């Protein structure tokens, strides 16, 4: 929007309003107030208070009404690999990785993922989304001729990369995906910590401890935290 609006000069009693000498003056508009940024995810430095978020280690995660929260686990190593929100036939998985101070890494990681997808017999393309360049892939289903649609989003932060994997309905329905993604990411905080980690190493996660307190909302309105289990299969960045 321009900085000025056009306004008719107050008419002089002796001036003919139909005369070519009638002029317009430029009057400054009131500056518009900038809205405070509310789109996540956030770094702990910008959101130091955990509040009512669940502590899942390197991620502080929100309750999402109507969603089930699961955890992807590598049982051989007894390591939690990611947090998975499931709602209305859409699954959104969060994984957070270490990154160097000097550079973002999503561009490089994305290129490597595209090569990895092709080597597994899948196909993919890059697309522009709300969070920048993402991958839209078709991954071969185990033992089936059909392929499963998957979306991969990457968000670079200070010394971390948050990778978001969308499966189910949200992988083909942008509106359904956007709703759940915002419900999750706009209230997610990355707690990177100061412990050194090699770039691309997955940052530690754990299952939050929860307890029901007086005054909590009804059970059917609360997210359900499931016990650790295998979530959507993805390739871990190494």
Q: What is the pLDDT of residue 48?
A: 87
Say what the pLDDT of residue 199 is.
93
For the chain, the C-alpha Rg in angstroms (whole number) is 25
Burial string for 19-56 (b: 16+ CB within 10 Å, else e) reads: eeeeeeeeeeeeeeeeeeeeebbbbbeebeeeeebbeb
**What does the domain layout of the chain look like in residue ranges?**
42-225
List the pLDDT tens digit at each of the 238 positions of the chain.
333 233 333 444 444 544 444 444 444 455 454 445 578 999 999 988 999 999 999 999 999 999 999 999 988 888 899 999 999 999 999 999 999 998 999 999 999 999 999 999 999 999 999 999 999 999 988 766 789 999 999 999 999 999 999 999 999 999 989 999 999 999 999 999 889 999 999 999 999 986 554 444 444 444 444 433 333 333 333 3
163 close to 152: Cβ distance less than 8 angstroms: yes
User: Beta strands of the chain (E only): which ranges?
Assistant: 4-8, 24-28, 42-43, 54-55, 59-61, 68-74, 79-87, 90-98, 123-129, 132-140, 147-157, 160-168, 189-190, 224-225
pLDDT at 184: 97
190 token code pair: 């990355």
How many residues make up the chain in this entry?
A: 238
Fold of 42-225: Protein Transport Mog1p; Chain A (3.40.1000)
With beta carbons less than 8 A apart as the criterion, state whether 200 and 238 touch.
yes
Residue keyed to tokens 């997210």: 223
Residue pair 127/231 in contact (Cβ under 8 Å)? The answer is: no
Cα separations in angstroms, 205 against 57, 144, 231: 5, 32, 14
Q: pTM of this prediction?
A: 0.74
| Contact yes or no for 157/41 (Cβ under 8 A) | yes
How far apart are alpha carbons 104 and 75 in whole angstroms?
A: 30
């Amino acid at each position: 929007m321009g900085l000025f609006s056009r306004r008719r000069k107050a008419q002089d009693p002796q001036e003919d309003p139909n005369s070519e000498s009638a002029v317009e003056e430029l009057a400054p508009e009131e500056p518009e107030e900038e809205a405070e940024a509310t789109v996540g995810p956030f770094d702990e430095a910008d959101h130091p208070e955990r509040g009512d978020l669940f502590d899942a280690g390197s991620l502080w995660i929100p309750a999402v009404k109507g969603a089930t929260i699961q955890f992807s686990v590598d049982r051989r190593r007894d390591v939690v690999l990611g947090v998975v929100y499931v709602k209305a036939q859409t699954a959104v998985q969060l994984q957070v990785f270490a990154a160097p101070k000097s550079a973002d890494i999503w561009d490089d990681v994305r290129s490597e993922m595209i090569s990895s997808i092709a080597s597994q017999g899948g196909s993919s393309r890059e697309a522009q989304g709300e969070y920048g360049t993402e991958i839209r892939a078709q991954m071969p289903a185990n033992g089936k001729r059909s392929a499963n649609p998957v979306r991969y989003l990457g968000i670079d932060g200070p010394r971390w990369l948050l990778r978001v994997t969308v499966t189910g309905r949200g992988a083909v329905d942008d509106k359904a995906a956007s709703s759940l993604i915002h419900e999750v990411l706009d209230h997610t905080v990355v707690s990177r910590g100061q412990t050194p980690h090699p770039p691309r190493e997955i940052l530690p996660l754990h299952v939050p401890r929860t307890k029901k307190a007086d005054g909590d909302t009804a059970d059917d309105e609360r997210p359900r935290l499931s016990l650790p289990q295998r979530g959507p299969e993805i390739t871990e960045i190494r």
